[in-house]
Structure 1
Amino acid sequence: MTPLNGYLLLAAFLFSIGLAGALTRRNAILVLAGIELMLNAANLNFIAFWRYGTHPEALTGTMFAIFSISIAAAEAAVGLGLILAVYRHFKTTDLDEIDSLKG
């Protein structure tokens, strides 16, 4: 097995754990943690394909990963802000109990 295959298997494992966490959890914060895990698996793919690609001196994979990390940080900030606003209104972070978007 090549090192690229090892990285891709690890990324697929991380992505599947994140997907399972995002789909099965009821707590909104744990759903966000699952989404972050999926984004980190995508970053691992970016870096692995860059490193074992035809032109690793081009730094395209690292630029994609840095851009993805900045998007993930913005997503986490906005997501936590939304969760705090919903918690103040409904007094819960359980996604099954939040069934209306009325103000």
Structure 2
Amino acid sequence: MHLVYPAVLAVLLFCVGLYGVLARRNSVLVLMSVELMLNAVNLNLVAFDVWLRDTLHAGQALTLFTITIAAAEIGLGLAIVLMVFRTHGTADLDRLRLLAEDTDPGEEPDPDSMAAATANPATTANPATTADLPHGKATVG
């Protein structure tokens, strides 16, 4: 077996995963792209293990370790995405810029500045009805 074929396939998989991480805005698709990149690394590990004819099969053992870490990573990542989706109502990474506010860890955020940062132009025109709240409930005042 030539080493070129799995190496080229691994490079293509890694490039598709890298494109997915850089271009996608949905957090679930970003997690899937990271998994593609990890699978490209696993393919390289197994291909080099076969090519080097290692008696300890260190490449395959490291691949099993990487698969285990990737399974734990995707479980934790999906749990975080679900919690963010429940609290903010979206999994879009551009709309989640609110999480990266510049506040000190010990300082409480100012409610007025948070309300101004989360204000939707459609809801600020008529403050009596705000149907576009993150939790999906409408308030009439």
* TM norm. shorter chain > 0.5: yes
Counterpart of 1:98 (choices 96, 99, 111) is 96
Q: Percent identity of the aligned residues?
A: 44
RMSD between aligned alpha carbons? Answer: 1.5
In structure 2, the gaps of 5 or more residues are 102-108, 110-141
* 3-state DSSP of counterpart to 1:58: coil
Q: TM-score, normalised by structure 1?
A: 0.93
Match of 1:38 in 2: 37
Counterpart of 2:84 (choices 70, 83, 86) is 86
- Shift in Å at residue 80 of structure 1? 0.1
1:61 lines up with 2:40 in the alignment:
no
Match of 2:73 in 1: 75
- Which has the bigger relative contact order, CA under 8 A and spacing at least 6? 1
> Which structure has the larger Rg?
2
Number of aligned positions between the proteins: 101
Q: Distance in 2 between matches of 1:8 and 1:95?
A: 32
Q: TM-score, normalised by structure 2?
A: 0.68
Structure 1 segments of 4+ aligned residues over 4 angstroms from their partners: none
Q: Distance in 2 between matches of 1:91 and 1:7?
A: 41
In structure 1, the gaps of 5 or more residues are none
Q: Answer 1 or 2: which has greater helix percent.
A: 1
